[in-house]
Amino acid sequence: MSGENFFHDYFGKVAERFNDIDLESLEQASTMVRRAQGAGNKLILVGNGGSAAMASHVAVDLTKAAGIRAINFNEADLLTCFANDYGYEHWVAKALEFYADPGDLAVLISSSGASQNIVNGAEQARTMGLTVISLSGFSPENPLRQLGDLNLFAASDSYNIVEMTHHVWLLAIVDYLIETNV
């Protein structure tokens, strides 16, 4: 396969995933963000690897550009302390226990939807009465997708395509919030 053919096919797959989303879901996510903000609550965005980088990017954009208080858990000392003390699969749940307040909105991102630390975080968020938006991919029956109040699903088995799709959807929500000041 030539590079030209590969890239044409690749970008076609990415475009399909971008357009898979029910646009009402993006509007609903935007409403959930505004509702949390209006009630004086914050957004907490969490992911692993590329999804953690995405969580950082989106949290900063929400705070700086949209004026919406948002945090993420990407500090090395927090992550390594909680992972060491509670086990990696429990660090997100414990971080939420320490930092989340009732009414906060947790945005939990896992490309596979099966990352145990993110799934446990979603279960903890629900126990605490937080609203949960999940972003996942791979299997439509993944565990994370079953735990959100709103679930944004990218139908792909490719980490990069799922992560790019999630990133674009989240940034579209940020831009919508900035543009409409809903």
Q: Say how many domains are in the chain.
A: 1
Mean pLDDT of 56-75: 96
Q: How far apart are CA 11 and CA 9, in angstroms?
A: 6
Amino acid identity at 4: E
Structural contact between residues 90 and 120, judged by C-beta atoms closer than 8 angstroms: yes
- What are the residues whose beta carbons fall under 8 Å from the beta carbon of 132, sequence distance 6 or more? 105, 106, 107, 108, 122, 125, 126, 147, 148, 149, 150
- The DSSP-derived string for 75-128 is -HHHHHHHHHHH-GGGHHHHHHHHH--TT-EEEEEESSS--HHHHHHHHHHHHT
Please write the tens of the pLDDT for every residue from 123-182.
Answer: 999 999 999 999 999 999 999 999 999 999 999 999 999 999 999 999 999 999 999 985
Quick one: pLDDT at residue 181? 82
pLDDT surpassing 90 at residue 2? no
Six-digit token pair at 60? Answer: 């900063």
Range(s) of the domain holding residue 118: 3-180
Q: Rounded to an integer, what is the distance from CA 149 to the centroid of its chain?
A: 13
pLDDT surpassing 70 at residue 109? yes
CATH of the domain at 31: 3.40.50.10490
